Amino acid sequence: MAAARPCALILVSNLFEDTMNQSVQTASPSTPAPPWPGEIRVAVICAQWHADIVNHAREAFIDELARHELPPARVECFEVPGSFEIPLKAQQLAKSGRYAAIVGCGLVVDGGIYRHEFVASAVIDGLMRVMLDSGVPVLSVVLTPHRFHEHDEHRRFFGEHFVKKGKEAAEAVLKLLKG
């Protein structure tokens, strides 16, 4: 039992260096250790442009984490106006030191003037920069469909696709947190 404890402490120290001076509760031999050490927190940022579609990713992300015993109370949700603002919010959250991982969710659509390609590139490049500069895993659920139209079939299809991508992001976060 004593040999298993340092692994959890190493994970906590790698993810939350500023919490090392706080007390750590140990479980009794009859109580199983919690699956997630310390107060691991994950942030999810959702663009509000097409929120009725994008928010499917957030809900699927939270549900999948909960299925793996990372409770919804450990996930903090943030909203930004559009996908372009996601990297700035991710940077602010990464600098706070509160989050073990950050996920950005958005839908960048082709408005017919090719602007979407520049926005999508800026968002992904920005998220990568935040991750590399901070050392905090930053994942993208920012989708850029080749063609999106404001009709029920596309709204349904992309809503379902965001559910899939939200689950995939949760699986990736879980793998990253488990090392």
Candidates 3.40.50.960, 2.40.100.10, 3.40.640.10, 3.90.1150.10; correct CATH number of 39-178?
Answer: 3.40.50.960
User: What distances in angstroms separate CA 5 from CA 37, 68, 91, one per listed residue?
Assistant: 10, 20, 32
Looking at residue 136, what is its pLDDT?
A: 96
Catalytic residue ranges: 115
Q: Report the Cα 119 to chain-centroid distance in Å.
A: 20
- Each as own residue / partner, the long-range contacts of residues 7-14 (CB below 8 Å, 24 or more positions apart, any chain) are 8/33, 8/37, 9/37, 11/37, 11/38, 11/177, 11/179, 12/37, 12/38
Work out the number of other CB atoms within 10 angstroms of the CB of residue 39. Answer: 14
Report the alpha-carbon distance of residue 102 to residue 107 in Å, rounded. 17
Domain boundaries along the sequence of the chain:
39-178
Band of pLDDT at residue 35, cut at 50, 70 and 90: low
Chain segment 87-125, per-residue pLDDT in tens: 999 999 999 999 999 999 999 887 666 677 888 899 999
Q: What is the mean pLDDT of the chain?
A: 79
Looking at residue 58, what is its pLDDT?
A: 96
Chain segment 38-83, per-residue pLDDT in tens: 688 999 999 999 899 899 999 999 999 999 988 999 999 999 999 9
- Which residue bears the tokens 């927190």? 41
More confident residue, 4 or 173: 173
Ranges of beta strands (E only) in 86-144 are: 101-107, 138-143
More confident residue, 60 or 158: 60
